[in-house]
Amino acid sequence: MAGSSFPTALISGGAHGIGAAIARRLASGGYRVVVADIDPARQADAEAAGARFVAADVGSEPDVGRLVDGIAAAEGRLDALVCNAGIMIRKPIAELSLSEWSRVLATNLTSIFLLARAAEPMLRRAKGAIVTIASTRARMSEPNTEAYAASKGGVVALTHALALSLGPDVRVNCISPGWIDVRGEKLTAADHAQHPAGRVGRPEDIAALAAFLLGPESGFVTGAEFVADGGMTRKMIYEE
């Protein structure tokens, strides 16, 4: 409905995992939610979360243009942008092709630039906010994750750059999740115990933080990175 009086949120990669949890949280909080996902088969999942689904590759400039134009036509406003789309290709660097490297960066990092650029006019009018989803892998790694780590480090840096460029009209903050159980894994007591918080994270943990950063109570917060990892990156680990 064009010209809606309800705040509108766009979530990339919002049909599953952390993105779906954010969609549910924002929809329950009174937002009109638009979910963009590359997989049309996830439409039912997005709609179950209370969102309007748009099939789009957010690493594609034409797709992002159509997506944002569609929100301007259908909802008439955009108050919140959550840049959550992300993929990982785990390969030894000698086997990682340039096209695979580029695909990861396009989905995880370039998409944020494209979405922020296209959505800027509506976000400025709404005095809105952006939340990007990075990862603790921006600062720590496992072997064979070069493309993912590079993309997530870029997300952290792009976040504070956007905060300076879009402020004071638009606030921009970043969440870096740690281990979040998005698949309902069979977790052990040891999995939980290794976290100083006493448990593995849940998608709802990230959704709650995202909702805060998009809302008025965080009005003095911009350009910041929030690590939500149960304390793991602060834990010293020694091998005996």
The set of catalytic residues is 148
Pairing of strands 8-12, 32-37: parallel
Residue written as token pair 């460029």 = 165
Pairing of strands 129-133, 171-177: parallel
Max CA distance (Å), the chain: 63
Q: What is the rounded distance in angstroms from the CA atom of residue 100 to the CA atom of residue 95? A: 10
Compute how many other C-beta atoms are within 10 angstroms of the C-beta atom of residue 129.
Answer: 25
For residue 191, what are the contacts with CB-CB under 8 A and spacing of at least 6? 179, 200
Residue written as token pair 């995880």 = 108
For residue 145, what are the contacts with CB-CB under 8 A and spacing of at least 6? 88, 90, 137
Supply the angle between the helices 146-166 and 111-126 in degrees, to the nearest 10. Answer: 20
What is the C-alpha end-to-end distance of the chain, expressed in Å? 62
Provide the residue type at 93 as one letter: I
